[in-house]
Amino acid sequence: MSDSSVSNPSDRVKLPTNGDRGAKTRQLLGMKGAAPGETSIWKIRLQLMKPITWIPLIWGVICGAASSGEYTWSLENLLKIAVCMVLSGPFMTGYTQTVNEYYDREIDAINEPYRPIPSGAIPLSQVIAQIIVLLLGGIGLAYVLDVWAGHEFPTITCIAIGGALLAYIYSAPPLKLKQNGWLGTYALGSSYIALPWWTGHALFGDLNWTIVILTLIYSFAGLGIAVVNDFKSIEGDRQLGLKSLPVMFGVTAAAWICVLTIDLFQAAIAAYLIYIHENLYATILLLLIIPQITFQDMYFLRDPLKNDVKYQASAQPFLVLGMLVTGLALGHAGV
Ligand SMILES: C/C(=C\COP(=O)(O)OP(=O)(O)O)CCC[C@H](C)CCC[C@H](C)CCCC(C)C
């Protein structure tokens, strides 16, 4: 698509409604239901980077620092982890989301015409420039962290490049992993759990195969969380031929796949913690699964289409706390 398609923004952009501060905030954070009509190019750029989606990756970095067992509270370490959060949030997730907005522009023109690209608020050439700046900035920052951590092998740079490639094939043709229910949701789950975890771990300790494999197993719980988001768009996905799990298996079966992957893979991690004699941490992790099962029963399984957001808001804090408990356990055990 050429830039001409977005060359006359004033024709297509609606002005913001007075006093709709909630919609303005959603706009800046890159959430659905945002207010249209932003005119500041920097706010539009931020909107493309969807800051709300940075949070899980920033949290993943903290879990990795915990699992390294080497994190101590010094000013230098605080600075290191802050830079690592900037890498995983604004740079790498910002890059990922901008690429996704770029390749979703035609479908967004139908479903979310107020988004920056379909509304014509930013020309495509500037979106491409933003993608390049975030990608090069992210890889450069990853290399700085490798040097800072004294790595002989640039582990963090490799994770950043691998993540960037994954993000590209997730959104861009010909692979467009997001069209495939299993691959797309696992890519999402692993990039939200495993990749930032590896990065935080590598920054302070030695990234090893046990951590890599454990976090890839943990990522199946992330797959379940990613599937929860597919219920809201089931009709549109079906019409567009997107094979999300709810489209492939129907609402009820997909809801069960969702909750079983979330619960069983967290339980599997707790079992591993028992195996390495981290019984207290394992017990806490198991206790944190109980409220998630309760919310699955109260909300999600009863009506996945109506209660998906309510379920995520109530249950997710327990899942993310469990990740930190696991990180601390692995760090304590010296895995
Ligand atoms: C673009 C992503 C999700 C949006 O998906 P979708 O288009 O289905 O949803 P919306 O319609 O609501 O927009 C995320 C995709 C993630 C990707 C597979 C990989 C991300 C890589 C990491 C950012 C890399 C982090 C490396 C770092 C920690 C060094």
Please say if the pLDDT value at position 204 is more than 50. yes
Indicate whether 10 belongs to any domain: no
Q: Are 327 and 62 in contact (CB under 8 A)?
A: yes
pLDDT on residue 259: 98
Please say if the pLDDT value at position 242 is more than 90. no
Indicate whether 1 belongs to any domain: no
| ipTM at complex level | 0.97
Please say if the pLDDT value at position 1 is more than 50. no
pLDDT on residue 29: 72
Indicate whether 135 belongs to any domain: yes
Give me ligand 1 centre to Cα 165, in Å. 11
84 touches ligand 1 (CB under 6 Å): no
CA atoms within 13 A on the CB side of 252: 1
Indicate the range of 35-39, 58-62, 293-297 predicted with least confidence: 35-39
Q: Rounded to 5 degrees, what are φ and ψ at 175? A: -75, -50
Give me ligand 1 centre to Cα 236, in Å. 20
193 touches ligand 1 (CB under 6 Å): no
Print the domain residue range for 69: 40-333
pLDDT on residue 133: 98
**Alpha-carbon span 232 to 254, nearest angstrom:** 13
Indicate whether 8 belongs to any domain: no
**Alpha-carbon span 304 to 300, nearest angstrom:** 5
Pocket probe mutation, ligand 1, options 47, 63, 93, 225, max atoms within 8 Å of Cβ: 93
96 touches ligand 1 (CB under 6 Å): yes
pLDDT on residue 15: 43
Grade residue 228 by pLDDT with cuts at 50, 70 and 90.
Answer: very high
Residue 12 CB contacts under 8 Å (≥ 6 apart), including other chains: 113, 119, 120
Grade residue 236 by pLDDT with cuts at 50, 70 and 90.
Answer: confident
Pocket probe mutation, ligand 1, options 195, 201, 228, 240, max atoms within 8 Å of Cβ: 195
Give 3-state DSSP helix, strand, coil % of the chain, rounded to 5.
75, 0, 25
Residue 133 CB contacts under 8 Å (≥ 6 apart), including other chains: none
Please say if the pLDDT value at position 4 is more than 70. no
Q: Angle at Cα 148 formed by Cα 142 and Cα 153, nearest 5°?
A: 65
Q: Are 128 and 102 in contact (CB under 8 A)?
A: yes
Indicate the range of 18-22, 157-161, 237-241, 243-247 predicted with least confidence: 18-22
Please say if the pLDDT value at position 47 is more than 70. yes
Please say if the pLDDT value at position 7 is more than 60. no
Indicate whether 32 belongs to any domain: no
Q: Are 148 and 80 in contact (CB under 8 A)?
A: yes
Q: What is the tens place of the pLDDT at every residue in 11-44? A: 333 444 555 667 767 666 776 666 666 779 999 9
Domain count, the chain: 1
pLDDT on residue 32: 64
Give me ligand 1 centre to Cα 166, in Å. 9
228 touches ligand 1 (CB under 6 Å): no
Indicate whether 287 belongs to any domain: yes
Which is more confidently placed, 146 or 23?
Answer: 146
Q: What percent of the chain shows pLDDT beyond 90?
A: 82
134 touches ligand 1 (CB under 6 Å): no
pLDDT on residue 112: 85
Indicate whether 6 belongs to any domain: no
Grade residue 116 by pLDDT with cuts at 50, 70 and 90.
Answer: very high
How many CB atoms lie under 10 A from the CB of residue 273?
Answer: 25
46 touches ligand 1 (CB under 6 Å): no
Report, as an integer, the average pLDDT of 97-105: 97
pLDDT on residue 33: 62
Report, as an integer, the average pLDDT of 222-233: 93
Of how many residues is the chain composed?
A: 335
pLDDT on residue 326: 98
pLDDT on residue 39: 79
Q: What is the tens place of the pLDDT at every residue in 84-98? A: 999 999 999 999 999
Report, as an integer, the average pLDDT of 198-219: 98
188 touches ligand 1 (CB under 6 Å): yes
Q: Are 46 and 123 in contact (CB under 8 A)?
A: no
Q: Are 304 and 231 in contact (CB under 8 A)?
A: yes
Mean pLDDT of all residues in the chain? 91
Indicate whether 214 belongs to any domain: yes
pLDDT on residue 35: 66
Tokens of 15: 């002005």
pLDDT on residue 241: 84
155 touches ligand 1 (CB under 6 Å): no
Q: Are 60 and 323 in contact (CB under 8 A)?
A: yes
pLDDT on residue 5: 36
Q: Where do we find the tokens 């206790």?
A: 287
CA distances (Å), 260 to each of 85, 101, 221, 227, in order? 31, 31, 9, 12
Give me ligand 1 centre to Cα 280, in Å. 34
pLDDT on residue 14: 43
